[in-house]
Structure 1
Amino acid sequence: MFHFDVQGAVAKSSHASIPWLRYPYRQLDERAHFWPFDGGVVPPGKSAITEVYPALWKQMYPTDGRTPDQHDAYVIAGWLRQADRDGRLACFLHSALTPPERTIAEVGGWIPGVL
């Protein structure tokens, strides 16, 4: 019925990982904000958990001998740290979505930086 195993498909990863999000959601309770499902604005003092797309920024950082997976993690950590410090992160989390797009994002998810 479903054809998940094709080049570039993310369905297999999504279906494997989504059930695991329930555990941190329950454990972290009020300390975390699952963006965009909990809303587009992350309240002060909360950690944000969101889906990211390292390909948006991986060319900005040299690989320095890291494996592709290691480099993806490095890129995301580095970009998030840098974007939080200079204020760009807030812009990415408050992207210019139309009201219908925001409704879709709060149900189906969204990736910061992808419009």
Structure 2
Amino acid sequence: MRKGLALGLDVCCVLVFVAIGRSSHEEAGSLGGLAWTAWPFLVGVGVGWGVFRVWRRPVEVVPSGVGVWLVVVGAGMGLRIVSGQGTAFAFVLVSLAFLGVTLLGWRVVGSRVLGGR
């Protein structure tokens, strides 16, 4: 799998997470609001890719997927605290669950599809 596609999938997972969250809190209206909520998690995607060198094997669940997942949530929450956005415990749990399912899920599917070739 091309690394650009894999990075795009990770970014899409974050953007879908943010869009669903904003929609469920009736904050879905503005692109600026979406960007404000998403940026900490998108920084986490970049950091996770750098720390775990995901471009080498982007479809691997371990360590690439697990590394990106945990860094996205950890960095996202840390940057939300620093920027005054808040991190309720329930939000941390929802973030871990949703981003875990999506960031790891596409890798599980991708590894099975690519492994079958």
TM-score using structure 1 length: 0.34
Structure number with higher strand proportion: 1
- Structure showing greater radius of gyration is 1
Q: Which has the higher contact order (CA 8 A, sep 6+)?
A: 2
TM superposition score normalised by structure 2: 0.34
